[in-house]
Amino acid sequence: MRSIQFREALREAMSEEMRRDNSVFLMGEEVAEYNGAYKVSQGMLDEFGPERVIDTPIAELGFAGIGVGASMNGLRPIIEFMTFNFSLVAIDQVINAAAKMMSMSGGQYSCPIVFRGPTGSAGMLSSQHSQNFENWYANTPGLKVVVPSNPYDAKGLMKSAIRDKDPVIFMESEQMYGDKGEVPEEEYLIPIGVADIKREGTDVTIVSFGKMMKVALAAAEELAKDGINAEVIDLRTVRPIDYKTLIESVKKTNRMVVVEEAWPLASISSELAYHIQSNAFDYMDAPVKRVTCRDVPLPYAPTLIEASLPNVARTIEAVKQVMYTKA
């Protein structure tokens, strides 16, 4: 099987869907002439032309609204935010229009739109360009929220997102666009809302998604050297969440640690801890532990970034706490 970059997997998914369905188009800042800020859309303008790969002004509220209106009228827009930090400018269109359209119209209007772009820390970009909003959007009924961790999942989930009848928030990491992974040439789709067990284990369940899957898997490898066999689960989507897979894993391992890049308050990890301890309490040998970003705006200095974000050492420490602490 060939190995391609994360950005190439996304490009293939969008291009294949645009060839399959003329109602699909891409719109956002620098997606056309510049080939995308992270070169995700490289070459797409040449193939599909300026009517379907559309450069916009720096006006997220405006082009997000155009996308919502287009989706209500039979088209399937892909709206790229240069970073999800900038989606805050357009959040009224995402939350009060796209997410609520099906419900408020009594089913008369659907809103098949994908909002996509990078999320989270990307190095020394400081506080205003390093935030995670997965839990914000996942808190909104009417939205689906996808956060892939590798090229294979990115392509399969993107194709499913474009075909979905509901608005989908598709969040990528700036630090993963160059990551390589095996992706088949033949078409495939990954259903939204299905988690994936990336590593089988028996002693503890480590749950994560997106870029933090690297931390979770690396921690599992280190823990194996100490005789701790960790099962690692990639949520892939944080709305809907595949609770069934998590519960079945905890029934086997009796312990859970959640690794998440976002701040701790009202996070995805908070929801998982509540749900698992409410629905699998009798199987738990220790409380669920969370490893999240420190509760501060992300600093600029690389040493402080390292101290703020979840890492392998903090994950290993959390696992050992649940291994050796009784509920």
What CA–CA distance (Å, rounded) separates 112 from 75?
8
Alpha helices in 230-298 (DSSP H): 243-253, 268-279
In the beta sheet, which residues pair with residue 231?
Answer: 205
Distances (CA, A) of 111 to 99, 102, 159, 215: 8, 7, 16, 35
In the beta sheet, which residues pair with residue 232?
Answer: 199, 206
Note the pLDDT of residue 237: 97
196-324 and 3-182 share a CATH fold: yes
Q: Catalytic pick from 12, 17, 60, 172?
A: 60
What CA–CA distance (Å, rounded) separates 56 from 30?
7
Task: Tell me: cis bond preceding 240? Omega within 30 of 0 counts.
Answer: yes
CA angle 157–214–121, rounded 5-degree value:
85
In tens digits, the chain (327 residues) has pLDDT values of: 899 999 999 999 999 999 999 999 999 999 999 999 999 999 999 999 999 999 999 999 999 999 999 999 999 999 999 999 999 999 999 999 999 999 999 999 999 999 999 998 888 888 888 899 999 999 999 999 999 999 999 999 999 999 999 999 999 998 999 999 999 999 999 999 999 999 999 999 999 999 999 999 999 999 999 999 999 999 999 999 999 999 999 999 999 999 999 999 999 999 999 999 999 999 999 999 999 999 999 888 989 989 999 999 999 999 999 998 765
Q: Catalytic pick from 17, 29, 129, 271?
A: 129
Q: What is the dotted CATH code of the domain comprising 196-324? A: 3.40.50.920
Note the pLDDT of residue 326: 60
Residue found under tokens 């970009």: 125
Task: Collect all residues with Cβ–Cβ distance below 8 Å to 230 and sequence separation of at least 6.
Answer: 199, 201, 203, 204, 205, 206, 219, 220, 223, 224, 319
18 phi and psi angles, rounded to 5 deg: -70, -35
What CA–CA distance (Å, rounded) separates 287 from 153?
30
Note the pLDDT of residue 185: 94
Architecture of domain 3-182: 3-Layer(aba) Sandwich (3.40)
Which H helix or E strand runs over 71? helix 60-72
Note the pLDDT of residue 123: 82
- The span from the first CA to the last CA of the chain, in angstroms, equals 45
Handedness of CA 197, 201, 202, 207 (dihedral sign): negative
Give domain limits for the chain. Answer: 3-182, 196-324
Tell me, yes or no, if 60 is annotated catalytic.
yes
Tell me, yes or no, if 129 is annotated catalytic.
yes
User: Of 251, 247, 248, 213, nearest to 232 (Cα)?
Assistant: 213
What CA–CA distance (Å, rounded) separates 159 from 187?
9
pTM greater than 0.85 (yes/no): yes
